[in-house]
A and B are shown apart, each in its own frame.
Chain A
Amino acid sequence: MKVFHYVNFVFIFLFIIAICVLEDVAVNNSLNQVKRDCYEIEQVLATSENINSMEMSLLVDNLEYNWTNNESTLCYMVNHKSIQEIGTEISKMKSYVGNNDIDALKVSISSIKYYADNYLHFMGANVHNIL
């Protein structure tokens, strides 16, 4: 029985460690993916003057798809009210692409990158968050 008691606590301890590692990996992967997708959009944006194109729509759709998938995983670990800004910004981007509003799209991409950096900061394990 005593051994069982010890095993319980070792199991719980390992479970906690596993969750912490999983959270860190999921957060880093998701937000880095967002930044990569934004970088791809920025590259296309730099070379073309008309953003109401199939290529741009596909890139924004890809960003939306990746974020939706990652967001649902992150919601298991963080308060999902705290990470909703990226989703809102992506839906705005879709209308900017349709209206060929390059400036607004640039602002949206900057905002998403800013949010991604911010999320990485507040979700990550660092001294600021601990204290």
Chain B
Amino acid sequence: MLTIVVRSIIIYIIVLLVFRLMGKRQIGQMQPFELVLTLIIADLATIPMAEVSVPVLHGIIPLLTLSVLHFILTLLTKTSTTFSKVVSGKPVIIINPKGLDQNAMKQLNLTIDDILSALRGCGYFSISQVQYAIMETNGKVSVLPKAEYSPATNGGLKIEEEESFIPITLVSEGKLMKENVALANMDMEKVLKIIKQQGGDKLKQVLILTVDKAGQSYIQFMKGEGKSFECEVKS
């Protein structure tokens, strides 16, 4: 049993390493060759984990070989558009201003239900709302709605709004995020001062404290409700 435990740890680390080297794409964003690779890796990893007579190297070498192959494929798809089209395909317009493109549907083996389902996923419940729909190489559908169904934007409504900032987490579950504190041009004393101003006493009492560059802040203590407030931030 100990052998299996140790083997599992080794294979897990190798698989983790291979996925880290592959990049941070998520399942839905995978290109076809990446999906194939993921399926093979999952299968390869289990064999040497459970089968003690199979050397661990029989699991590691194929995993590493696939990671090198993936690296080469990625490099080639980046450098050659033709190669990229061969391996990943190219985006296909499935709905245009004239309506559904039946040739594209045949080419992609898509049914009307598939397209309607994908459109609903994008927030459009009728084909009449859609100007263009494009099937991307990773299988997702991108939709450009008709002008009357486009969501209103500040730019479109000519409303002037101040730029918003990303809130920086200064304290999370009682722990000071030192890098974030420096990013917000603050120090420990300033953070403690804010906590005291909001009725707290110690860092450990704070569940979350965030602040953005405009000074908009949010604090929630371990026992209590969250509240927004403003504080002074050096830019």
Q: From A12, which residue of chain B is reached at the shortest CB distance? A: B64
Contacts of A13 in B (CB 8 A): 68
Q: Given A77-B57, A79-B55, A80-B53, check contact A5 B21 (CB 8 Å).
A: yes
Option from A5, A16, A79, A80 in Cβ contact (under 8 Å) with B61:
A16
Q: From A10, which residue of chain B is reached at the shortest CB distance? A: B68
Complex: A12 Cα to B67 Cα, angstroms: 9
Minimum CB–CB distance for A29 against chain B, Å: 18
Q: Given A5-B21, A9-B68, check contact A81 B61 (CB 8 Å).
A: no
Q: From A8, which residue of chain B is reached at the shortest CB distance? A: B21
Complex: A79 Cα to B61 Cα, angstroms: 14
Interface residue tally for chain A (C-beta within 8 Å)? 15
Minimum CB–CB distance for A8 against chain B, Å: 6
Contacts of A77 in B (CB 8 A): 55, 57
Option from B21, B53, B54, B57 in Cβ contact (under 8 Å) with A9:
B21
The A-contacting residues of B in range 67-90, CB under 8 angstroms, are: 67-68, 71
Contact B57 A76 (CB under 8 A): yes
B228 at the interface (CB under 8 A from A): no
A25 at the interface (CB under 8 A from B): no
The A-contacting residues of B in range 17-73, CB under 8 angstroms, are: 21, 53-55, 57-58, 61, 64-65, 67-68, 71
Interface Cβ pair total, 8 Å cutoff: 30
Interface residues on B, range: 10 to 19
Q: From A80, which residue of chain B is reached at the shortest CB distance? A: B53
Interface residues of A: mostly helix, strand, loop or mixed? helix
Contact B54 A15 (CB under 8 A): no
The B-contacting residues of A in range 76-95, CB under 8 angstroms, are: 76-81
Q: From B23, which residue of chain A is reached at the shortest CB distance? A: A5
Complex: A51 Cα to B21 Cα, angstroms: 60
The B-contacting residues of A in range 1-56, CB under 8 angstroms, are: 5, 8-9, 12-13, 15-16, 19
A107 at the interface (CB under 8 A from B): no
Minimum CB–CB distance for A11 against chain B, Å: 10
Minimum CB–CB distance for A6 against chain B, Å: 9
A75 at the interface (CB under 8 A from B): yes
Q: Given A5-B21, A9-B21, A9-B71, check contact A16 B64 (CB 8 Å).
A: yes
Contact B21 A15 (CB under 8 A): no
A–B complex contacts, Cβ < 8 Å, 7 sampled: A8-B21, A9-B21, A9-B71, A16-B65, A19-B57, A19-B61, A75-B55
Residues of A whose CB lies within 8 Å of any CB of B are 5, 8-9, 12-13, 15-16, 19, 75-81
Residues of B whose CB lies within 8 Å of any CB of A are 21, 53-55, 57-58, 61, 64-65, 67-68, 71
